Amino acid sequence: MAVYERTWRRYQGELTSLRRRWLVVTRYALSDTFASRIFTAFYAVCFLPSVVGLFFIYLSHNASLLQQLGMPADVMSILTEKFFMILFLWQAVPAFLVAVIVSPSLIAADLSNNALPLYLARPIDQREYVLGKMAVLAILLSPMTWIMGLLIFGLQAYLEGGGWWLQNYRIGLAYLVGHLAWIVVISMLTLAISAWVRFKPVARGALFGIIFILAGFAQAMNEVTGTSWGDLLNLVRAINSVVMSLFGAPTPSGLPVLFNWLTLAAATALSIWLINRKLRPHEVVR
């Protein structure tokens, strides 16, 4: 059927797999995200800390280059957990910024003009829709965080040789688990905000508010009560403590690390509940 015929007929061709249908949501959201050249450039810049980390590891194993640069040959000694912890932070911050930029429009764009019923009137359900949107953030954030982290860890293990990787396996574990935990928490949180707040600037402000104002409130609570229970509300400290414990370093929170995990789990569960409340295929008239 050609367009000039201006006619309609039923589709009789092949259909894609029902199980992978939610990936359509992801693919379109990613394509919309990268339609902005400014974002694409910013996204590339977000890999800079990891590239610098890779270069530094290469440099530390290149004696002649170190000599030319006038650096001490035992620079390797600083390639300890501290280097990897700092690098972790420098990966997590850009990842957070990417989430802040991308997520406000992920769900809000579909809700603001009531497009959600059109999605859900097709063979895709609420859960798959959210999975599709969450996958956007996972696909965007993974390469710049745990994938690059493991690549750096692998390069260091390869160049160092011997049993380095076995002695320092916690570093790799911290990169994998720590970043994945952060991606899940931040994705669900930003999606929940996107579902409830339709204006991008307000949504971004709300995210900063939840993360940083809540942290300030938690700190004040700790000061007033003289305890560390305020840390239950402090997402930044919770993820920080979890990551530190994964690295085997002392945690900044006064609470056992299990409580920090519980804080992250509670934030995720609350986000899922909020998303579930908002994502209905119809407007609720009260």
Residues that bind another protein (CB under 8 A): 1-16, 18, 21, 24-25, 28, 32, 105, 109-110, 112-115, 117-125, 280-283
Is the CB of residue 198 less than 8 Å from the CB of residue 111?
yes
Q: How far is the CB of 58 from another protein (least distance, A)?
A: 40
Give the dihedral of Cα atoms 188, 189, 195, 197; nearest 10 deg. Answer: -170
Closer Cβ to another protein, 114 or 167, answer by number:
114
Q: How far is the CB of 122 from another protein (least distance, A)?
A: 4
Give 219: exposed, middle or buried? Use CB within 10 Å, 0-12, 13-18, 19+: middle
Q: How far is the CB of 193 from another protein (least distance, A)?
A: 19
Is the CB of residue 242 less than 8 Å from the CB of residue 257?
yes
Helix-strand-coil split of the chain, %, nearest 5: 75, 0, 25
DSSP state of 281: S
Closer Cβ to another protein, 2 or 166, answer by number:
2
Closer Cβ to another protein, 78 or 115, answer by number:
115
241 vs 196: CA distance, rounded Å: 29
Q: How far is the CB of 282 from another protein (least distance, A)?
A: 6
Closer Cβ to another protein, 11 or 68, answer by number:
11
Closer Cβ to another protein, 17 or 64, answer by number:
17
Q: How far is the CB of 115 from another protein (least distance, A)?
A: 5
Nearest to 145 by CA among 202, 190, 187, 208: 187
